Amino acid sequence: MPAVPTTTSQRAAALRDALARAQHEYYVLDQPVLSDQEYDRLFRELQTLEQAYPALRTEDSPTQRVGAPVQSAFRTHRHLVRMLSLDNAFDQAELVAFEQSIERIVGDAVHRSGYTVELKIDGAAIALTYRDGVLATAATRGDGTEGEDVTLNVRTIRGVPLRLLGDDVPPLLEVRGEVYLPFTGFEQMNEARVAAGEPVYVNPRNAAAGSMRQLDPSITAARPLRFFGYAAVLPDGTAPARTQWELLERLMAWGVPVAPHRARCHTIADVGRWADTIEHQTRAALGFAIDGGVVKVNDIALQDELGVRNDRTPRWAVARKFAPDMAVTRLEQIDVSIGRTGVVTPFAVLAPVDVGGATVTYASLHNADQIAAKDLRVGDIVQVVRAGDVIPYVLGPVPERRDGSEQRWQLPAVCPRCGTTIVRYRDDVASYCPNVACPGRQLEGLVHFASKEALDIDGLSYARIQQLLAAGYVHDVADLFDVSVAQLVALERFGTKSAENLVAAIAAAKQQPLSRLLFGLGIRHVGAQAAQLLARQFGTRDALMAATPAQLGEVRGIGEIMATSVAGYFADPTARALIERLRACGLRFDEPNAVQADGPLTGATVVLTGSLPTLSRGEATALVEQAGGRVTSGVSRKTTFVVAGEEAGSKLDKAVALGVEVIDEAELRRRVSGT
């Protein structure tokens, strides 16, 4: 094994510290400083060092979150202190009864203490044992005394610190919390399972629990799991803090993520008001599932005095349970909607049901594959949830309540709005109506076309577009430029001034560059950034429309799927006719910041580092790209030159070490101008 040079060892330690600090800023403080690209670059550098010098690989290295061997079975692990369960309170009267039970033991001391209230995360309970600040063991709750050792799986969860921060970490400590799946991650995971022909998970909690019990840690690593801590205990059963609030603050200081929306409440009435706000306002906006709040006596000495009831539940804490965010109702019909890109999305028409305080009649079904995977049938009794989602979705059927009248559903062969044959592209779970003039795509397409990132038409709101469609004034985006003041003033809530302003805003949108128009057209797979890359590379509409899929795919950041989609769009006669109408309306079809084909920096690879005197990072990048160059994030021997400003840091050091040319902003300006 090669000896590790001192400078290399120091660099590896600095990288571990930088990556740990970045994870703390991202997962705990929710204030990321490092960009994803910079984090990945540092991570790869540490990996390279550890591969060259295995002795540098420590247990708490961020690189050790993946790559563990497959396990044959789970060992049992005994918790330092028994994990307890909570009693429930379902309304304010039961919260008052909870406080009265405490008063009978400690009297007015509970009022001096007050309460700490926290979200009750709907996930999988986990206990993390840290020895000398380093994660040693992670175990499931089990029976409260013993759980399963799932350390290799938990190490893959980025939000779980492998080493606690600070100098005040006890030598032996057990941190307790909840592993959960955010809603977006849950949906993405189920989409992938459908595409792979695997059964979907019913809810995020089951998915999180199942992820913890994978024998292959690489499977767990591929799932977007997260973690929130809520408690810490020492071997003697005491907590390393004087109050619950202080304990949460200390967990955060150690690098443990803690759930948001926690609060200190002086009275039980304050607790009730907090619970009502969380249940009826905050809950719907959360990106993860909760099933209530947890109320704890804040003073930990008082907690110790109150003790435990029946060796199972603490007297000093209670779960304030919320109304279920799931309900059962009949699936009366399955219909489809057509989105702006033509995507065909099935949705459920339900017998009206109250879910989490709102009446639900429609619910998302995502795509035909998910309907088949869940074996949903028209007439089924189904489970419906709306936790965290504005649009509710159907979890699955209740098969035991079937009576034989239920009918299987198939995706329509043709678009119900225009009659065009529905298609499904390779490697895509969605189906599409390919007709760019489909009436079903009109509303969402027009809204997207007028949005800020597209043509940014001030005053053309969703409601205004609905009015224009209903009046028959517009059918596609080109029709917008023919709308007159006289037409608008005939509509409800339009005065002469507002009509003139809207017509002027539509006219002004004609001067938006090609990149904005390209994004506004709603080409499948083409987002705002891809539209900008294409517009800058080709410069004009004609050059872009004439490009082959191979030429499109040569643009950095444009892959094969996107290139094929763009070429297919411009080959469509209906799309070409629409673009010709837009040209006749006077829209701009060039990009002012287009790349110069034979620019002064053509073929150059440039790295930007530090703060430049007058240029932002985006402006400097645009200058380089307009001159034909390419900006990358990392310095290598292939780098043409580095542009360095104040506080340039490690990129400058690496450039000097590799002999790469370093210039300042003034020299960059000279080079891009060709002087």
Neighbours of 431 (CB within 10 A): 21
SS3 392: coil
User: Of 233, 321, 239, 267, which Cα lies nearest the Cα of 102?
Assistant: 267
Phi and psi at residue 38, to the nearest 5°? -70, -40
Residue 477 is given by DSSP the state G
C-alpha distances (whole Å) from 51 to each of 4, 48, 62 are: 12, 5, 14
- Is 374 catalytic? The answer is no
Crossing angle for the helix pair 665-672 and 617-626, nearest 10 degrees? 30
Q: Which of 120, 296, 321, 374 is the catalytic position?
A: 120
d(CA 567, CA 574): 14
| Exposure class string for 27-57: b at 16+ Cβ within 10 A, else e | bbeeeeebeeeebebbbebbeebbeebeebe
Give ∠ CA 412-418-422 in degrees, rounded to 5: 40
**How do 317-321 and 407-408 pair as beta strands?**
unpaired
d(CA 551, CA 468): 39
d(CA 295, CA 167): 30
d(CA 404, CA 409): 15
| Token pair of 257 as six digits | 């993520």
SS3 174: strand
Place of tokens 């009297």: 107
Burial class of residue 117, CB neighbours in 10 A (0-12, 13-18, 19+): buried
Write out the catalytic residue numbers: 120
